[in-house]
Amino acid sequence: MAITTGAAGHAPSSADGTTSTSADAAGSRPLGDVGGPSPRGARGPDGSRGPDALGVRSRSRRSAAIVALLTVTAVVSLMLCMGLGPVSIPAGTTIQVISQHLGLPFASSAPVDASTDAIIWTVRLPRVLMGAAVGACLAISGAALQAMVRNMLADPYILGVSGGASTGAAAAILFGVGAAMGEYAQSVLAFVGALGAALLVFAIARAGGRVTSLRLLLSGVAVGYALTAVTNLLIFSSDSAEGSRSVMFWMLGSLSLARWNAFLLIAVCAAAIGVAVMTLGARVLDALSAGDEIAHGLGISPDRARIGFLLAVSLCTAAAVAGAGAIGFVGLVIPHLARRLVGARHRVLIPASALLGSLFLLWADAFARVVMQPRELPIGVITAAIGAPFLLILVRRLHARRP
């Protein structure tokens, strides 16, 4: 697929979110002192603001309401998705099991079947938490990357991080690399491979002295294809048919390995840190999405900003891939849906993308558990089935906008 570096198709709001007031013909008094409506942001004699002529405050209230609704929906979805699977469990029982384990004061003292308790607490709760964290990591990474490179078709895997993680996992599964780490070898090497790929992309992009959008994109594509070739070579060189199937399953993505371990903690922490960092840097992301000239005019160094956000994106994507394998299209689809709901300002786009990404992956995983019982469908198949038509729609819109 050819990659273009045109504008992302969306422009952020002004950097400071304000507009200056105009003076009257004589230049002696602002319009707010003359009869008629006050300009946006002007205050009346009582200190109250004038009419919201441009609808800025109403849009802000609407965005806040949408984010609050998404938060409630995500919490409810966590509870509902824990009850779905080969063994169906009511939401009330799920809440009871979690409350008892957490020692909450309102927890019911009624006994719960041991097998039901194990299914909820040991298997499904870590799984839905991992799904929510991975979905958030991939979605915010996609939103940030699309702003960094000003390309609406960009997603986290364009950095080659997925290829690095798959190569590390293949080395652990097929050839026993890192066997001393036991059951953690596969995830550890996937994490190391993902971070190594991100660092390699950054080193290649910086070789010319300046990290540009085009150089970053091309470096990511090149590294991704090279690492995918290495992974395929490892699969071809192995004599283990079972190991080859395990690697292929990893490359398609799955949450079946989620447990109460360090990788769940890493994924949750990466999601929280990523949301915080990108929300605090929302003004910088707005400037980058508007162009390097505007960023320079606001006193922002585009190169430094891209480096910082690249590290944050790499951390989030590596944590997601190490915990759940290579799940594609989440970082491409979700940011566009979030923009339709809350607009292009990254101050609200990042939290909305994180919540939508969590919701999307939670329900995709629930569908993967029940659609082919007792077998489990790789979650990457579901995300690709949804994301591929979405990608075709985006490409068609890009083509339609060109003269």
pLDDT digit string, tens, across residues 184-197 = 787 788 888 888 88
In angstroms, the CA 329 to CA 335 distance is: 11
Backbone angles phi, psi at 91, to 5 degrees: -65, -35
The whole-number pLDDT of residue 246 equals 76
Confidence of residue 34 (pLDDT cuts 50, 70, 90): very low
- For residue 90, the tally of other CB atoms under 10 A from its CB is 10
For the segment 230-289, what is each residue's pLDDT rounded down to a tens digit?
998 988 888 877 778 778 777 888 898 888 988 899 899 999 999 999 999 999 999 998
Distance between CA atoms of residues 30 and 32, nearest Å: 5
The whole-angstrom separation of Cα 147 and Cα 296 is 15
Angle 125-149/56-82 helices, nearest 10 degrees?
A: 150
Q: How far apart are CA 321 and CA 339, in angstroms?
A: 25
Give the span between the Cα atoms of 401 and 252, in whole angstroms.
33
Residue, of 206 and 68, whose pLDDT is higher: 68
- pLDDT at residue 301, rounded to an integer: 87
The predicted model scores a pTM of: 0.80
Which CATH entry fits the domain spanning 124-401: 2.60.40.10, 1.10.1130.10, 3.30.479.30, 1.10.3470.10? 1.10.3470.10
Lowest mean pLDDT across 60-69, 93-102, 235-244, 291-300: 235-244
Percent of the residues in the chain that have a pLDDT greater than 70, as a whole number: 83
When pLDDT is cut at 50, 70 and 90, the band that residue 380 belongs to is confident
Please report the pLDDT score of residue 19 as a whole number: 38
Residue type for position 163: G
Question: For residue 45, what pLDDT is reported?
Answer: 44
What residue segments make up the domains of the chain, in order of their start? 124-401
Most confident of 222-226, 241-245, 302-306: 222-226
Q: For residues 236 and 329, what is the distance between their CA atoms, to the nearest angstrom?
A: 27
Residue 12 has pLDDT above 70, yes or no: no
Give Rg (Cα) of the chain. Answer: 24
Judged by average pLDDT, the poorest of 270-274, 302-306, 325-329, 373-377 is 373-377
3-state secondary structure the chain: CCCCCCCCCCCCCCCCCCCCCCECCCCCCEHHHCCCCCCCCCECCCCCECCCCCCHHHHHHHHHHHHHHHHHHHHHHHHHHHCCCCCCCCHHHHHHHHHHHHCCCCCCCCCCCHHHHHHHHHHHHHHHHHHHHHHHHHHHHHHHHHHHHCCCCCCHHHHCHHHHHHHHHHHHHHHCCCHHHHHHHHHHHHHHHHHHHHHHHHHHHHCCCCCCHHHHHHHHHHHHHHHHHHHHHHHHHCCCHHHHHHHHHHHHCCCCCCCCCHHHHHHHHHHHHHHHHHHHCHHHHHHHHHCHHHHHHCCCCHHHHHHHHHHHHHHHHHHHHHHHCCCCCHHHHHHHHHHHHHCCCHHHHHHHHHHHHHHHHHHHHHHHHHCCCCCCCCHHHHHHHHHHHHHHHHHHHHHHHCC
In angstroms, how far apart are the furthest CA atoms of the chain? 87
pLDDT band at 49 (very low <50, low <70, confident <90, very high): low
